[in-house]
Amino acid sequence: MNDLAIMALLVVSLLLILGSGVWIGLTLSGVAWIAMELFTARPAGDAMAVTIWGTASSWTLTALPLFIWMGEILFRTRLSQDMFKGLSPWMQALPGRLLHTNVVGCTIFAAVSGSSAATCATIGKMSLPELKRRGYPEHMIVGTLAGASTLGLLIPPSIIMIVYGVAAEVSIAKLFIAGVFPGLLLAFLFSGYIAVWALLNPDQIPAADEKTTFLQKVNASRALIPVISLIAAVLGSIYAGIATATEAAAVGVLGALVISALQGSMSWATFKDSLMGATRLYCMIALILAGAAFLTLSMGYIGLPRHLAEWIVSLNLSQGQLIFALTLFFVLLGCFLDGISMVVLTMGVLMPTIQAAGIDPIWFGIFVVLVVEMAQITPPVGFNLFVLQSMTGKELPWIAKVTLPMFLLMCLAAVLIYVFPGIATWLPTHMST
């Protein structure tokens, strides 16, 4: 069989097994086993055992369950209510007023969560009932929350950046640093959209609350001290070179436990729920990573990545054409797979091509995360859309429709990062020198 026929067989097998309802991790392992058995001489069982053990025992990957646990702890504390209390007085003077709490709240929580679904659920619990009660239009509340919650992937610490760093063998600390400016750029675009929409539709924005003095605003901001302190401890230890990503994750867990204890919301039940929630989520991710690693190995034995890279290189695409093609590819893939599966399933194939095209792997990591963010709000498998559907009771097509402007703003951000790559590369370059 030629390479095209082998690839077609594997893709069809992947889609058939996925469509039958089998878990993604087991699907990837099953397709890898088929490839090893049919097209290589190496025993599939031995290869599977060695690969899965090697993936599961990776030291770099230990940061992942720790950051997940930190987010689970914070998810069960009074953090979201305190954030709203601290942010709302400062938002009253902006066009769009309290709609900006979605963006600012997601930006802040993203810096301690690392998960877009956790960011969406946590900030949504705070803003959806509060903004609806105050009379803000529901389509703007839901749309801006769906878009802004994707910042959980881009603003460090990010779970998917850790996954990309492991898969692409690049520095996770540099990826974290590189995500700062693109994350802030996206938050600025979201807030800018809210302001422009509010200026064009002033009758749909409720009147401001009673005016507060500067000292009253500062006093209300005391509620932000715990989360700001945690962000400073986690990111500061990484950026200052004091701690690795794994060590900083441990600092984050300890800080989250201390915050929840001081808030009086840490009970044995809360501790157990957070630990079990993190364990379930990490086991799912680890199974996907192990299956994808085995699939990458099997494709390596067959030679598909090398042949695919050679084929793409033979097309003589410019960097811009390659990036555009990959953007369409990832957005299409995001209609059927979650972000982590997309990254681990494709990096083994794409990294040789990216390196051959002379593209900075740190920049490409930020680009991939940004495109995966788009997939989080792209039907039919947009994880954030599902989270919002469960929280609002609205139909999925309606949620996707009100989220479309955020998707277009992400496309604009991707263009800006391509035209001005320094947005992603300047900070890690200067902080490492």
Q: Is residue 218 part of a domain?
A: yes
Q: Is residue 3 part of a domain?
A: no
Contact 151, 336 (CB under 8 A): no
Q: Is residue 9 part of a domain?
A: no
Q: Is residue 10 part of a domain?
A: no
Q: Is residue 52 part of a domain?
A: yes
Give how many domains the chain has, as a whole number: 1
Q: Which residue has the tokens 């956790």?
A: 118
Q: Is residue 7 part of a domain?
A: no
Helix axes 24-39, 44-56, angle to 10 degrees: 140
Burial class of residue 241 (count of CB atoms within 10 Å of its CB; 0-12, 13-18, 19+)? exposed
Q: Is residue 338 part of a domain?
A: yes
For each of the chain's 433 residues, which pLDDT tens digit applies?
A: 666 677 778 778 877 887 787 877 788 888 888 888 888 878 888 888 888 888 777 776 777 788 778 877 877 777 656 766 777 777 777 887 888 888 888 887 777 666 676 677 767 777 787 788 888 888 998 899 888 888 877 887 777 888 888 888 888 888 888 988 998 999 999 999 999 999 998 888 877 766 777 777 777 778 778 878 887 888 788 777 788 778 888 888 898 898 888 888 888 988 998 899 888 878 877 787 788 778 777 877 877 656 666 676 677 778 888 888 888 888 777 665 667 777 877 787 788 788 878 889 999 999 998 988 887 787 665 667 777 777 777 887 888 889 899 999 999 999 999 999 999 989 888 765 4
What is the model's pTM? 0.72
Range of the domain at 98: 24-29+43-431
- Give the separation between CA 140 and CA 232, rounded to whole angstroms: 31
Residue 262 CA to its chain's centroid (Å): 29
> Which DSSP string corresponds to 7-19?
HHHHHHHHHHHHH
Give exposure, 180-217, as e/b (b: 16+ Cβ within 10 Å): bbbbebbbebbbebbeebbeeeeeebeeeeeebeeeee
